[in-house]
């Protein structure tokens, strides 16, 4: 069963509070796929609101929007949860079009900051990739591919747990 919830103002507020997403970001739709046990939360930037150039922090209009991207977020109960957004690009006189920052992650990454923090904690607590995979699902493979190239993650995943990384091509 797959349906698009026509979200009420109340539900919108509920998700905004849970995700800590503030105006002009807004949650405009939520898809619930009961069979896949999956929730998609759609976020956009309120039309007509100015954006900040990520280089100069200067207020500017929107030049365009990036193609829709998906970030894996923490589960909602037993449902895998994803954030979807077409991130706006600023129209700075000085720097040209730049993808603006998003509060839940880096625009180029595939996981939200909260998911990354959780995944690192799981990796550090587990004795094998297989055990981590049982808790995090198969997306752990993508997480490790992204994570290993990241200095912060490499530091967090200490030498004590280096054996996990040796087995990371799962």
- Binding-site ranges for Zn ion (CB under 5 A): 53, 55-56, 58, 92, 94-95
Nearest to Zn ion of 107, 124 (CB atom): 107
CB of 57 to Zn ion, least distance (A): 8
Smallest separation, CB 101 to Zn ion (Å) = 13
Using CA atoms, how far residue 15 sits from 10, 22, 75, 83, 106, in Å, is: 9, 10, 13, 11, 20
Beta carbon nearer to Zn ion, 14 or 58? 58
CB 142 within 8 A of CB 110: yes
Q: Residue 14 or residue 95: which is nearer to Zn ion going by CB? A: 95
Token readout for 161 is 């747990």
Minimum CB–partner distance for residue 102 and Zn ion (Å): 17
Task: Please tell me the distance from the alpha carbon of residue 113 to that of residue 73, in angstroms, as a whole number.
Answer: 8
**Of 64 and 68, CB closest to Zn ion:** 64
Q: How far is the CB of 68 from Zn ion (least distance, A)?
A: 24
Buried b (16+ CB within 10 A) or exposed e, 12-46: eeebbeebebeeebbbeebebeeeeebbbbbbbbe
């Amino acid at each position: 069963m797959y349906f698009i919830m026509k979200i009420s103002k109340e539900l919108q507020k509920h998700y905004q509070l849970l995700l800590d997403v503030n105006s002009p970001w807004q949650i405009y739709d939520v898809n619930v796929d009961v069979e896949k046990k999956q929730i998609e939360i759609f976020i956009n930037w309120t039309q007509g609101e100015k954006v900040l150039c990520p280089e100069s922090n200067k207020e500017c209009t929107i030049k365009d929007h990036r193609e829709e991207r998906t970030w894996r977020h923490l589960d909602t109960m037993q449902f895998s949860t994803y954030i979807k957004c077409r991130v706006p690009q600023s129209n700075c006189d000085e720097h040209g079009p730049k993808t603006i920052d998003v509060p839940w992650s880096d625009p180029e990454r595939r996981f939200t900051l909260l998911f990354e923090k959780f995944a690192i904690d799981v990796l550090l607590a587990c004795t094998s990739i297989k055990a981590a995979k049982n808790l995090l699902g198969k997306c752990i493979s993508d997480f490790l591919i992204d994570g290993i190239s990241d200095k912060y993650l490499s530091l967090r995943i200490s030498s004590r747990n280096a054996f996990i990384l040796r087995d990371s091509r799962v």
